[in-house]
Amino acid sequence: MLCRICKEAMEPTVVDFETNWRGYRATFKDLPVIKCVSCGHTLITPDAADLMSDLVDAKLAANQPVPEVLTVEEAAEFLKLSTQTVYNLQRAGQLPGAKVGSQIRFLRSALTDLLAGEAPPQAASLQQPNPDPKKIARPRRNTPRDGL
């Protein structure tokens, strides 16, 4: 088989494949694929696609709920937005999220309420007040110090 990108040969191999889907993070290890030896273009084999589909269907059949606490990536997928837009909206106080350590987390229920037009009560407390422009620290000018 020839690569449709660079027209070089493709060979069967296995890869690890990670994805987010409906709030779930899925990692498929040793997934059989066909990969271009030249440009690296990768095709998932039909058997692997069937296996992935069966695993997703089994997960849904188990009726396991979407996690209540979402990462930025999961919130973006849930809201059908880019991750950068989620970061920007949260920073502007328009999305109810909270920083946990160095990462931002969202409650799925708060995002659902927001989509339904209800402002969750925690949204107001998470918004940063607009700073008073008179109190913003101005950068210091580089001036020579005495005695230096």
Do residue 73 and residue 124 come from a single domain? yes
Given 41, 61, 81, the domain boundary residue is 61
CB atoms within 10 A of CB 95: 24
Please name which of 54, 50, 64 lies closest in space to residue 22, comparing C-alpha atoms. Answer: 64
Report the length, in residues, of the chain. Answer: 148
Is 31 part of a structural domain of the chain? yes
Do residue 57 and residue 73 come from a single domain? no
**Of the ranges 60-64, 65-69, 74-78, 122-126, which one carries the lowest mean pLDDT score?**
122-126
How many domains does the chain divide into? Answer: 2
Q: What is the CA radius of gyration of the chain?
A: 24
Instruction: Between 26 and 16, name the one with better pLDDT.
Output: 16
Is 1 part of a structural domain of the chain? no
pLDDT digits 0-9 by tens, 113-141: 888 886 554 443 344 445 555 555 555 56
pLDDT value, residue 125 = 39
Rounded to an integer, the average pLDDT of 68-73 is: 90
State the residue range of the domain holding 76. 69-129
Do residue 78 and residue 116 come from a single domain? yes
Do residue 84 and residue 41 come from a single domain? no
Percent of the chain whose predicted confidence (pLDDT) is above 70: 72
* Beta pairing class for 69-70 and 103-107: antiparallel
